[in-house]
Amino acid sequence: MKRWTKVMVGVATIALATAGCAGSGGNESSGEQQSDGPRTLTVWLMNGSAPETLTDSLHKEFEQSHDGVTVKYEVQEWNGIQDKLTTALASQDPPDVIELGNTQAPSFADEGVLTDLSRDVDSLSGDQWLDSLKASGEWDGKQYSTPFYAANRMVVYRTDMFQQAGITAPPTSREEWLTAIGKLKTKFGADKQFQPLYLPGQNWYALLSFIYDEGGDIARQTGVEFTATLDSPEAKAGLEFYKELVDASGTTAPKDNDEQNPEQAGIYGQGKVAMMIALPWEVDTAAADNADIKAKTGAFPIPSKNAGETAPVFQGGSNLAIPVNSKNADLAKEYLKLMLSSKYQAQFAEAGMVPGASTDLSALDANPVSKAMAEASKKGKSVPATPKWATIEAGQNPLKDMLTAYLTGAKDLDTATADANKALDAAIGD
């Protein structure tokens, strides 16, 4: 899962080679359907996605219910997957089912190499789909991929430090959050290494929550066109609150880097940090060097400016798709139907992930961190579903530049947002 978080929410540029690419805009599978004799369904899922117990059980059930069918299951590594998928999808013999990062899906759909699943949504548990992953699988009014699983950030915190600082309950508003930071500074501030909140300057995923909470977004969609909105009053308000958190906490995190540089989980694991905005498995990373910290860690959803509410969150995750040249698209749809059934989606929840096609998140309640993630996930959102988004995360991300410029004082609020808006428009607009 650590591999997923580092790559899935930071997808590299996808440049599909369209020359020689079969298919007609991804409307229907163009490969010949095999019907007689033994058949092999090739499935590519990514390393760290589905628990082995789940895939073993699913593949056994699928083969038993489909005479003469063998599932050829191949686990892929994220490193190099862009080129590997580009080559496979341009061929006449691609895998039959593939896993895609939710920020990758629009690019592949736009290239016409995925099967249109619009008519299959109902049979694939569509009424249970996560809205954020459903949106990432849509392009030009059609559905090209289904949700698989998701995860989102929440505030991870030291329960023992909260107790010692007299904080009796997790914050349920921005105001309470800032008050908690003040109490933690009062209690532990004599230690110069202490940080009530570790918040690096370029954690733009956290910034998205604050912008969403203000009622804004980073881009507006009209049909298949996108217009940046980083200079809106709502986006500016979200950026201002980010700075308020940084200033209030006095965090020593770098203002010119993100949560992976240095790895914030390692900083939290040193025992001098009371809170971080994190993904659930970062607690395990922290515990690798400090086993005791896991028992002292709780979590709560990122608070809203509205008391008693949670802020919307960016929801990263994976989608499932069928290549347009699959020769077994009929079987592939049956495979997706089984994977997205309540039986197997429940197993994703038991493994600590938000299932992409289930509204039953009760299994996540067993762990306080995954429970907080599940609560926050109800307001999950995705980044703009444009094929050009991958270039933002792989290249010079205007949101990161904006954060650093504003937090360091290199630019004022209006200049930082105007410059970032112009850069984002150039990247995702025509």
Please check whether residues 52 and 65 belong to one and the same domain. Answer: yes
Please check whether residues 126 and 67 belong to one and the same domain. Answer: yes
Please check whether residues 268 and 221 belong to one and the same domain. Answer: yes
Question: What is the predicted pLDDT for the residue at 11?
Answer: 33
Please check whether residues 21 and 94 belong to one and the same domain. Answer: yes
Question: What is the predicted pLDDT for the residue at 78?
Answer: 85
Write the pLDDT tens digit of every residue in 42-52. Answer: 999 999 899 99
Residue 377 lies in a domain: yes
Q: How many helices (H) and strands (E) does the chain have?
A: 17, 14
Please check whether residues 124 and 143 belong to one and the same domain. Answer: yes
Residue 386 lies in a domain: no
Write the pLDDT tens digit of every residue in 170-214. Answer: 999 999 999 999 999 999 999 999 999 999 999 999 999 999 999
Please give the tally of structural domains in the chain: 2
Question: What is the predicted pLDDT for the residue at 21?
Answer: 30
Q: Tell me, what CATH number does 308's domain have?
A: 3.40.190.10
Residue 244 lies in a domain: yes
Residues 6+ apart with CB under 8 A from 45: 55, 73, 74, 75, 76, 99
Write the pLDDT tens digit of every residue in 281-310. Answer: 999 999 998 999 999 999 999 999 999 999
Please check whether residues 337 and 357 belong to one and the same domain. Answer: yes
Please check whether residues 246 and 185 belong to one and the same domain. Answer: yes
Please check whether residues 210 and 141 belong to one and the same domain. Answer: no
Residue 388 lies in a domain: no
Residue 74 lies in a domain: yes
Residue 294 belongs to domain spanning: 154-314+395-428
Q: In sequence order, what are the beta bridge partners of 411?
A: none
Q: Can you give the pTM of this predicted structure?
A: 0.88
Question: What is the predicted pLDDT for the residue at 16?
Answer: 29
Neighbours of 168 (CB within 10 A): 7
DSSP, residue by residue, 32-101? PPP-SS-EEEEEEEETTSS-HHHHHHHHHHHHHHSTTEEEEEEEEPSTTHHHHHHHHHTSSS--SEEEEE
Which residues of the chain have a pLDDT value below 50?
1-25, 30-31
Question: What is the predicted pLDDT for the residue at 418?
Answer: 98
Please check whether residues 135 and 258 belong to one and the same domain. Answer: no
Q: What percent of the chain clears pLDDT 70, i.e. is strictly above it?
A: 91
Please check whether residues 139 and 200 belong to one and the same domain. Answer: no
Please check whether residues 103 and 78 belong to one and the same domain. Answer: yes
Residue 195 lies in a domain: yes
Please check whether residues 146 and 58 belong to one and the same domain. Answer: yes
